[in-house]
Amino acid sequence: MEDKQIVDLYWQRNESAIEETDKKYGRYCHYIAYHILADDEDAKEIVNDTYLKAWNTIPPNRPDPLKPYLGTISRQLSLNRYESQHTQKRGGQVVLALEELSECIPGTDSGADIGESVALSDALSRFLWTLPERTRMMFVRRYFYMSPVAEIARDFSMKESAVTMLMLRTRRKLAQFLKKEGFDV
């Protein structure tokens, strides 16, 4: 079923929207949640929570395409669960990836200006499109999906050290890009 048809089911408040979403994007949402939480049961719960949030936000939203909309929901719910589970503990892929990014992304606090957040998001998007496709794909896998370096290296037929170095260089380029855009890095 096409995304538009699934979204139409949500707008009609037809419960089969959840079933169709699960068929098409269940594994995708689970992949995101599992890489952040490293627990299959938690990942399954996040997938269900993703469907609930989609149900509650469509309408008024009409996402097109649906996949990144669901991915963003799944990722945010997973990060929230991770943070609540690990407020005292430090470790894992999420912490490693976020610490790596902290070198080049301006810090945000809960009271951050929404306009500044939108500007940062726009700048990050523009930066990603300046990268070669392969580098962009690896960067997104590492810092959006929180994939381990070993997995990225395997999937791109590279050594882990090469992926680590490429991510370091890309983060440095990002820091330079954001400085030119007027962000305090």
Q: Is the dihedral of CA 168, 169, 175, 181 positive or negative?
A: negative
Contact 178, 122 (CB under 8 A): no
Quick one: pLDDT at residue 110? 45
pLDDT at 185 over 80: no
Residue with more model confidence, 98 or 29: 29
Dump pLDDT digits (tens) for 3-54: 999 999 999 999 999 999 999 999 999 999 999 999 999 999 999 999 999 9
Reply yes or no on whether the pLDDT at 111 is more than 80: no
Tell me the HSE value of 66 on the side-chain side, using a 13 A CA sphere: 27
Q: What is the pLDDT of residues 55-93, one digit of tens each?
A: 999 999 999 899 999 999 999 999 889 888 875 455 566
Q: What share of the chain is helix, strand, coil (3-state, %, to 5)?
A: 70, 0, 30
pLDDT value of residue 100: 79
More confident residue, 1 or 105: 1
Alpha-helix residue ranges (DSSP H) falling in the chain: 3-11, 16-37, 40-57, 66-85, 92-101, 114-128, 133-143, 149-155, 160-180
- What is the amino acid identity at position 70? L
Question: Does the pLDDT value for residue 107 go beyond 90?
Answer: no
- Please determine, for residue 113, whether its predicted confidence score (pLDDT) is greater than 90: no
Reported confidence tier of residue 97, pLDDT bands at 50, 70, 90: confident
CA dihedral 56, 59, 62, 67 (to 10 degrees): 20
pLDDT at 57: 94
Respond yes or no on whether the N-terminal peptide bond of residue 59 is cis (omega within 30° of 0).
yes
Residues 144-170: tens digit of each pLDDT: 888 899 999 999 999 999 999 999 999
Name the residue type at position 10: Y
In this prediction, residue 53 carries a pLDDT of 95
